[in-house]
């Protein structure tokens, strides 16, 4: 069985992806569109929208952190899935609510579900570096 928190993160990733793909800046508009396609799922949808809004509010700083931690990769050269998994993970590492190992494990789960075969290793390396720079590992 998939945990509610994991479902919220997966839905937040879908919102971040939809926001980027559709060019819509307003998180509430994106959330409404995603809810129409997937159902509102009250048990975790609000948390997904909170995570999405938090990432969007800190996106410039988060993207800088990705650029610093991802050797030889510019943020705009990353695939949208990888970029948004990293954004979500770094946001949660910065907020400090879940333990760093949980954040990284959850990001790896998203990478396995939504990314390509190399995505989990890349995500793990970048998030590990960011967590260490924040003193979380």
The pTM of this model reads 0.94
User: What totals of helices (H) and strands (E) does the chain contain, helices first?
Assistant: 7, 0
pLDDT in tens, 38-67: 877 778 889 999 999 999 999 999 999 999
Count of C-beta atoms within a 10 Å radius of residue 100: 20
| C-alpha dist (Å) from residue 130 to 27, 36, 119, 123 | 25, 35, 17, 11
pLDDT in tens, 100-137: 999 999 999 999 999 999 999 999 999 999 999 999 99
Rounded Cα distance, 22 and 127, in Å: 26
Superfamily the domain 4-133 falls into: NusB-like (1.10.940.10)
């Amino acid at each position: 069985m998939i945990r509610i928190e994991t479902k919220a993160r997966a839905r937040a990733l879908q919102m971040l992806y939809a926001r980027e793909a559709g060019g819509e800046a307003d998180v509430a508009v994106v959330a409404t569109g995603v809810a129409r396609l997937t159902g509102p799922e009250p048990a975790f949808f609000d948390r997904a929208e909170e995570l999405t809004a938090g990432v969007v509010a800190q996106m410039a700083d988060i993207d800088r952190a990705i650029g610093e931690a991802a050797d030889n990769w510019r943020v705009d050269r990353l695939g949208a899935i990888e970029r948004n998994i990293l954004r979500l993970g770094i946001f949660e590492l910065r907020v400090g609510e879940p333990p760093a190992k949980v954040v990284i494990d959850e990001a790896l789960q998203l990478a396995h579900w939504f990314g390509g075969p190399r995505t989990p290793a890349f995500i793990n390396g970048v998030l590990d570096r960011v967590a260490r720079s924040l003193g979380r590992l």
